[in-house]
Each structure stands twice: as C-alpha cells, then as structure tokens.
C-alpha cells in the first residue's frame, strides 16, 4: 500500500494551486503563455499514445488518460465561461461549479474520441487567450467567491489557477503513460 505522501505526490505532481495576492504583468504574460501553449503540449503527448495508454491512470482511483483529456477541455470551457460571466454580469458573485467526477463519468467522458476534446481544447483556448490578453487592470481586479476553495478570487488569480490546471493534468498524463516529452 502506498503511503499518503506518495499518493499526494501523484495527485499533485506540480504541487497544489497556491493563490498569490498579486501577479506582475510579466507573471501574467507567462501564465497566459502557459495556457496558450497547453493544447500543443497535450497534442504532442496524445500523438504518442497507443490504444492501451488511454485506460492508464496516474494513481489508484484516479481518472484515466482519456478522462483527463476530456476533463481538461471541459474545464477550459468552464474557465472561459466564468471569465465571460464575471466580465458581463455585474451580479455574478459566486463561481460556477460542476461535479467533475460526474462529468468524467458521462458517456462522452468515458468513451468519446479524444480528438474531439483536443479540437475543443484548442478552439476554446484560442478564444480564452484572446480574451485574457484584452483584460484591463480593472477587469483583473473583479472578484467572485469560490465556494469549494472558500475564498474570493480575482481574475488575475483565476488566470493563475487556469495555468496551474493545464500543467497539473499534463503531468498526470505523463505519469500515467511514462511519456515525458
């Protein structure tokens, strides 16, 4: 049986998301670049997979590679939706949540072609990055409450969370498949 530390390292291979109080312009540019380049990195890994890789998991009880691919596309869509809502709806004060375990267990989460989610991920990311690069200082300060994390989050912090998310699950796929590049 693996100990808790080993499981935590598999769950959080790049560490848990840590919310910073402030991000400089250079830090935000780096975070947006991470988001922008993520589809290319996922496509690179996916292109190397063989059929049996899709059902591999990064830890006991974790999602398999196919579910991770679908999840990343779904969450990128969710992050884009949240950003659009906070920018356009003054009464949007609590982040939109989903039941991630239920989403990856739907028929499309279990068996839809991975190419569909890669295409979706690529397209949403382009729009999302376009929007992120248009944000003003005032836009970046807009906050909402995150009921799961139990704190307020502004849009600069939301960008950091999004960048963390795409890196986090890319590492999961690398662990599951043994593909490092």
**Residue 63 token pair:** 């999602």
Tell me the average pLDDT across 3-26: 92
Tell me the average pLDDT across 68-86: 98
Residue 2 has pLDDT above 70, yes or no: no
Q: What is the pLDDT of residues 126-180, one digit of tens each?
A: 999 999 999 999 999 999 999 999 999 999 999 999 999 999 999 999 999 999 8
- The pLDDT confidence band at residue 1, using thresholds 50, 70 and 90, is very low
pTM for this prediction:
0.95
Half-sphere exposure of 59 (CA within 13 A, CB side): 17
Half-sphere exposure of 65 (CA within 13 A, CB side): 25
pLDDT of the residue at 3: 67
Distance, CA of 171 to CA of 93 (rounded, Å)? 32
| Domains along the chain with CATH numbers | 24-177 (1.20.120.450)
pLDDT of the residue at 8: 87
> Are residues 65 and 56 in contact, defined by beta-carbon separation less than 8 angstroms?
yes
Half-sphere exposure of 78 (CA within 13 A, CB side): 18
pLDDT of the residue at 7: 85
Distance, CA of 29 to CA of 119 (rounded, Å)? 24
């Amino acid at each position: 049986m693996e100990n808790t530390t080993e499981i935590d390292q598999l769950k959080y291979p790049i560490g848990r998301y840590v919310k910073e109080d402030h991000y400089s312009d250079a830090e935000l540019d780096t975070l947006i670049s991470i988001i922008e380049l993520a589809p290319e990195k996922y496509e690179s890994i996916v292109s190397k997979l063989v059929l049996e890789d899709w059902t591999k998991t990064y830890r006991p009880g974790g999602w398999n590679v196919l579910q991770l691919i679908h999840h990343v596309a779904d969450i990128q869509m969710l992050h884009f939706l949240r950003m659009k809502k906070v920018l356009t709806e003054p009464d949007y004060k609590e982040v939109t949540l989903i039941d991630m375990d239920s989403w990856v267990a739907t028929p499309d989460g279990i068996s839809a072609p991975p190419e569909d989610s890669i295409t979706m991920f690529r397209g949403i990311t382009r729009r999302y990055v376009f929007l992120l690069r248009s944000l003003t200082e005032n836009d970046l300060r807009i906050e909402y409450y995150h009921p799961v994390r139990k704190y307020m989050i502004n849009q600069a912090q939301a960008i950091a969370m999004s960048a963390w998310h795409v890196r986090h699950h890319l590492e999961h796929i690398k662990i599951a498949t043994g593909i490092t590049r």
